[in-house]
Amino acid sequence: MQALPLGLHHTHMRHPSLARPYAFKQLVAQAAAPYRRCGRFAWRWASGKLAGDTLFHTLVEQQLVPPAAHVLDLGCGQGLLAAWVLTAAEHALLPAPASWRGLDLNPRDIGHAQAAWGAHASFSCANICDTAFGKADLITVMDVLHYLPHAAQTQVLQRIAQALPAGGRLLLRVGDAEAGWAFRWSRWVDQLVILARSGRLCSLYPRSLPAWQQQLHALGFRVRALPRDGQRGFANVLLIADKLA
């Protein structure tokens, strides 16, 4: 499928199964609107990220959310993925989840997620390294695992594999450490965001794309990687990992 360019200036996006463009810009505005009650920064961050990150349109374009899924979002930040999926579901652009649970270390982000979308989803302040995952049909981990040391990454992936049934899905976005300048650019932006948000730098633990894929295969997943096209020079790759029987 052809990747579409994204941006605030692109108002209408094509949705394949509806065979009509959908109002991307309006959807972004609707998903971001509840963050107004968390202050201008949280709302601006939500609007900018939802509009500028190709992930959100890709979820709709490629129909990556299974129907009636119990969803667990690990490292959910301020809950933007929930905001997008729940809003898209309201317009029948994605299937409505049966339930949504988000976990993140950052109490301020969890507070914003709760204030904005807490009526439709549950968000808890928790470390994904030592919190029980329970059962889920869809687990999402977007731009999170590189914050964990390699051994902790492996343990989280093992626990994800245990939490999913056969046919369950993991959507995992990771950086590709072998992506050259794109990886260096992504890492630099990452550190800048961390510095702006927490006032400190932190260690990151990247892996190459083949290493991520190999680990997922070993845990019993069939893995498909979406090309990095259209991701504005970033080295992030979305892995669609389906748990085999």
Instruction: Give the residues lining the site for ligand SAM (CB under 6 A).
Output: 75-77, 80, 103-106, 109, 127-129, 142-144, 147-148
How far apart are CB 192 and ligand SAM at their closest, in Å?
A: 12
> What whole-number distance in Å separates Cα of residue 140 and Cα of residue 119?
20
Nearer to ligand SAM, 17 or 203 (CB): 203
Nearer to ligand SAM, 103 or 209 (CB): 103
Nearer to ligand SAM, 30 or 186 (CB): 186
How far apart are CB 103 and ligand SAM at their closest, in Å?
A: 6
With b for 16 or more beta-carbon neighbours within 10 A and e for fewer, the 144-153 pattern comes to: bbbbbeeebb
Helix (H) / strand (E) element for 160: namely helix 150-163
How far apart are CB 244 and ligand SAM at their closest, in Å?
A: 26
Token pair of 182, please? 């794109």
6 contacts 57 by C-beta, under 8 angstroms: yes
Nearer to ligand SAM, 61 or 73 (CB): 73
Token pair of 152, please? 């902790």
Nearer to ligand SAM, 60 or 148 (CB): 148
How far apart are CB 142 and ligand SAM at their closest, in Å?
A: 4
> What whole-number distance in Å separates Cα of residue 243 and Cα of residue 158?
12
46 contacts 78 by C-beta, under 8 angstroms: yes
How far apart are CB 53 and ligand SAM at their closest, in Å?
A: 8
How far apart are CB 32 and ligand SAM at their closest, in Å?
A: 12
> What whole-number distance in Å separates Cα of residue 239 and Cα of residue 174?
8
How far apart are CB 143 and ligand SAM at their closest, in Å?
A: 4
Nearer to ligand SAM, 138 or 148 (CB): 148
> What whole-number distance in Å separates Cα of residue 162 and Cα of residue 133?
9
33 torsion bin: left (phi>0), alpha (psi -120 to 50), beta (else): alpha
15 contacts 22 by C-beta, under 8 angstroms: yes
> What whole-number distance in Å separates Cα of residue 213 and Cα of residue 102?
24
86 contacts 117 by C-beta, under 8 angstroms: yes
**Nearest-CB residue for ligand SAM:** 77
